[in-house]
Amino acid sequence: MRISVFGTGYVGLVTGACLAETGNVVTCVDIDTAKVDRLNAGEIPIYEPGLDGIVRANRAAGRLHFTTDIAAGIAAGDILFVAVGTPPDENGSADLRYVLAAARDFGRHMQGFKVVVDKSTVPVGTGDRVAATITEELVKRGFSADPAERHRLGQPDFAIVSNPEFLKEGAAVADFNRPDRIVIGVDQQSPQGQRALRLVRALYAPLNLNHDRTLVMDVRSAELTKYAANAMLATRISFMNELANLAETLGADIELVRRGIGSDSRIGYSFLYAGTGYGGSCFPKDVQALQRTAAETGHDLKVLAAVEAVNNGQKRVLVDKIRRVLGDNLTGITIGVWGLAFKPNTDDMRDAPSRVLIAELLAAGASIAAFDPVASHEARRVFAIDLADRPTDLARLRFVESPEAALSGADALAIVTEWKVFRAPDLTAMATLLRRKAIFDGRNLYDPDLMADAGLAYYPIGRAQARFP
């Protein structure tokens, strides 16, 4: 099949590459000339395990193309995926300017029948707005505003499909190729919608060989499904973080509690880990956007308001622990930081807890030696922006090339991201390198008793029974 994908971020690039891998001819379109030039030169602008090999192989095979030519991209695809960004607006709602700009382009240039697939995470009702925008442009070109009339006269026509993504950064390729479900929202009552459903089912058929994972529903239900999924996962994270803070006060161990409740088949273990809060490109903005959507209809989502408030507070947990142990004035103190990306296997720094931790430690006078296996380059860019008006603080932040370099000469260590490389460190070396032998673990990676045996003062989250030397 002939596919065009508009937007080459995480979702667009993974979608385009993986669809090319199943034998389709895919054209990826982006207005960022520098990014398209990099892609055409074989460079991948994001870190996503396994993606670079798929992109290179399918470019070499002639199945994957990158261009800034919007009209050519529209002509090249029978199915047009919209995978552009939907950043949060000032009021928390999703900013649809890029989605609607793509819709206008479709209406201006499309010929024949096109299936327009909303892959971006968009508020409920966006499918209607996209359809209205395309129709408005078609009318300007002299075509009918009535879909039935366009169909009868053989004019350029389209159908809207909502096909939300459920990709985890760091595992996006595997998630795309082995999805839990494929949600297709479409108007099954119209001939255009029926045709679109047949085409999209055929497109995803290679991913359904073992069993049909497809869930067909109306467009609005599909749009809400994406937000509901992310809101539920964010809720589980904030719930466990609140319990972790309580467990620490009560003298309970949140890790034992996690195992106790996770063993219940109705609950399960996923997303029940206490930590420093969620970040990334999805959960923060989607929780806000869903609250905004509800507010516009007169509903107050009290649970999600609490989820967001808990998460904002949880990003300061390590800061509070460090200041309780080392003092409010951290001048002359060096803190090593392990992990900068919001989660492992990505270089994504959007809403990363490390940004709050480092900014506040620098404000308290500390110096920072930070290490991340992948995200240091992106972190340099982000902190240069975050601390642009604080040059003296920025001067006390340095990025190092190894976990050991972050420890050398540091008073204490803060662990923010649970990269595998941090899971089995040399505890004796850690105790030797750290001047105050203090470890503030935002991911509960280690056994408290083993840390004490190594002579390390260990401060995890929600584990008040930890034995300190």
pLDDT surpassing 80 at residue 467 = no
270 and 185 in a common domain: no
196 and 67 in a common domain: yes
Q: Which of 93-107, 117-131, 344-358, 452-466 has the lowest mean pLDDT?
A: 452-466
208 and 77 in a common domain: yes
pLDDT surpassing 70 at residue 469 = no
321 and 443 in a common domain: yes
The overall average pLDDT reported for the chain is 95
277 and 317 in a common domain: yes
Q: Going by DSSP bridges, is the β-strand pair 412-415/438-441 parallel, antiparallel, or unpaired?
A: parallel
70 and 106 in a common domain: yes
Residues 233-273 pLDDT 10s = 999 999 999 999 999 999 999 999 999 999 999 999 999 99
Residues 402-445 pLDDT 10s = 999 999 999 999 999 999 999 999 999 999 999 999 999 999 99
**pLDDT (mean) for 330-354:** 97
**pLDDT (mean) for 5-31:** 97
pLDDT surpassing 80 at residue 91 = no
Is 225 domain-assigned? no
The DSSP element (H or E) to which 244 belongs, if any, is helix 219-250
Cα 271 from Cα 262, distance rounded (Å):
10
286 and 139 in a common domain: no
Is 230 domain-assigned? no
Is 417 domain-assigned? yes
250 and 151 in a common domain: no
277 and 319 in a common domain: yes
193 and 140 in a common domain: yes
- How many structural domains does the chain have? 2
Q: For residue 55, give its domain range.
A: 2-217
Among 460, 454, 459, smallest CA distance to 469 is for 454
- Residue 282 catalytic? yes
Q: The pTM is what? A: 0.92
271 and 193 in a common domain: no
pLDDT value at position 87?
86
The DSSP element (H or E) to which 237 belongs, if any, is helix 219-250
Given 282, 307, 317, 358, which residue is catalytic?
282
CATH number, residue 403: 3.40.50.720
135 and 250 in a common domain: no
**pLDDT (mean) for 386-393:** 97
Q: Which amino acid is at 147?
A: P
3-state secondary structure 339-364: CCCCCCCCCCCCCCHHHHHHHHHHHC
